[in-house]
Amino acid sequence: MGVAKGAKSVVPAPGAEAVDEAFGGKLAAVLETLGATGAEGEVTKLPAAGDLKAPVVVAVGLGTAPAKGDAYDNETLRRAAGSAARALAGTKKAAFALPLEDAEAAAAVAEGALLGAYAFTAYRSNGAQGTKKGAKSAKGGDSASAPLAEITLTGGKPRDKEFKAAAERAQALAAEINRARDLINMPPNDLNPKSFAAEAQAAAKEFGLKVEVLDEKALKKGGYGGLLGVGQGADAPPRLVRLAYTHPKAAKTLALVGKGITYDSGGISLKPAGHNETMKCDMSGAAAVFATVTAAARLGLEVNVTGWLALAENMPSGNAVRPGDVLTMYSGKTVEVLNTDAEGRLVLADALTRASEESPDAIVDVATLTGAMVLALGNRTFGIMANDEAFRTTLHEIAEEVGEQSWPMPMPAELRKGMDSPVADIANMGERMGGGLVAGLFLKEFVGEGISWAHLDIAGPAFHEGAPFGYTHKGGTGSSVRTLVRLAERTASGDLG
């Protein structure tokens, strides 16, 4: 149930009527005595009273109550449900009695609850059952940290078609976001370009998708200099995966390109200690793209969604690409590698050119691309750049709609000259100032003429290192999946123009 900050005291939120009744109408007073303030994310557990079936009631803060007649914001509900679900880890089942004004609110509560009920435990030797199937580790035991297993929503209109559809959509979406989280959390000694590609092949089989994997031989034959250059220092060679969902009635095709650096050591331009501990997360873009394609399949969207996973491991070795090397990219352009740690743009460039060949209606790339974007926007907001201002605005609005924090970023033309190279067509690095924008300008040069393209730099929100909050756990977050799925839905319904 929800509890909000009222004018004078805390107020039980709509949906909590039965609980309040069981407490003889004194729920607000009981909660206040227990110190509840209604602040967002606050969790208060109390033993149930009256004839409630559940043994425990969890009151979760919703912040200031909305003005009379206004509904709670969906992201507030999503986070509240997530906080409650996290607080209920170790519990078998729970009923969520939060305000369900409409089907969208029900979807938000379901999403928050399902995303909150997540744990990555595949590598714990006391092996609480996580969501990762078939991981190589001990099984059994430790139910205390096992995520909440069964979730029901109370209230709303469960028999209503819209509510049913919303709940089903939330389930598919959360399952796929949790798939992305699992991939991101998987340690880089187990997830490399080859095993990542195998995951895509398995999913393709499960969902009836078309999948093609270019291995190092095929990449060489095709002239994918960016992917090969970045991957050449690693023992595990690079891969380019094309994972395609098609619908017979689709009028549009959306291409999604994900940065899939399964580990970013920086290469010869090695990252110092303190900067490499979380770099298994550098494939979060590819994980988001993967999850979006499978989500589109689960939802049966009337749109074609082609995912491109640009997979490589960035390692230093005697065979690694050096600062000063020149690579010939898939597009034919030459790139002087000045910093081997600016590897994401190299693998993405090849995938963007390849994706452009199929003339999709739009391309969106997703990448943990630059530390500069984290400096600019912080840890929870992704940056959006585009060669088409309307498309950038659309993505920003969609992200807002689905409760993901984002901000539109410019592509100042004057930053291009910083990437002029004395020997090649372009260098992979430019001015330090505005580094996130420089990276975007680099990518833009590899997008096909006349194709609407946007770039999401998720380096901040992809991986959460702080204390868990709402439905966000430590580790991979699944950032941008909700935005991309909604984009696919909007493309399917034809309201993107």
**Of the candidate residues 262, 304, 306, 370, the single one contacting ligand BES (CB under 6 A):** 370
Shortest distance (Å) from residue 372 CB to ligand BES: 6
Nearest to 98 by CA among 131, 75, 117, 129: 75
Q: Are 300 and 247 in contact (CB under 8 A)?
A: yes
Question: Backbone dihedral region of 175: left (phi > 0), alpha (psi from -120 to 50 degrees) or beta?
Answer: alpha
Using CB under 6 A as the binding rule, the residues of this chain from 250 to 279 that contact ligand BES are 264
Report if residue 365 touches ligand BES, rule: CB under 6 A: no
**Of the candidate residues 111, 199, 264, 365, the single one contacting Mn ion (CB under 5 A):** 264
Q: For residue 345, indicate whether it is catalytic.
A: yes
Shortest distance (Å) from residue 428 CB to Mn ion: 10
Report if residue 145 touches ligand BES, rule: CB under 6 A: no
Distance from C-alpha of 94 to C-alpha of 147, rounded to nearest angstrom: 11
Report if residue 457 touches ligand BES, rule: CB under 6 A: no
Nearest to 460 by CA among 383, 365, 366, 397: 383
Report if residue 339 touches ligand BES, rule: CB under 6 A: yes
Shortest distance (Å) from residue 341 CB to ligand BES: 4
Interacting stretch for ligand BES, rule CB under 6 A, among 70-78, 296-304, 329-337, 364-372? Answer: 364-372
Enumerate binding residues for Zn ion (CB under 5 A). Answer: 261, 264, 282, 344
Q: Are 428 and 442 in contact (CB under 8 A)?
A: yes
* Residue of 298, 345, 354, 482 marked active site: 345
Nearer to Zn ion, 216 or 264 (CB): 264
Nearer to ligand BES, 199 or 343 (CB): 343
Rg of the chain over all Cα atoms, to the nearest angstrom: 23
**Of the candidate residues 355, 372, 376, 411, the single one contacting ligand BES (CB under 6 A):** 372
Shortest distance (Å) from residue 347 CB to ligand BES: 10
Binding mask 304-343 for Mn ion (x = CB under 5 A): -------------------------------------x-x
Nearer to ligand BES, 184 or 395 (CB): 184
Q: For residue 486, indicate whether it is catalytic.
A: no
For 153, other C-beta atoms within 10 Å of its C-beta total: 23
Active site residues: 271, 345
Q: Which residues bind ligand BES (CB under 6 A)?
A: 264, 282, 339, 341-344, 368-372, 374, 429, 435, 459
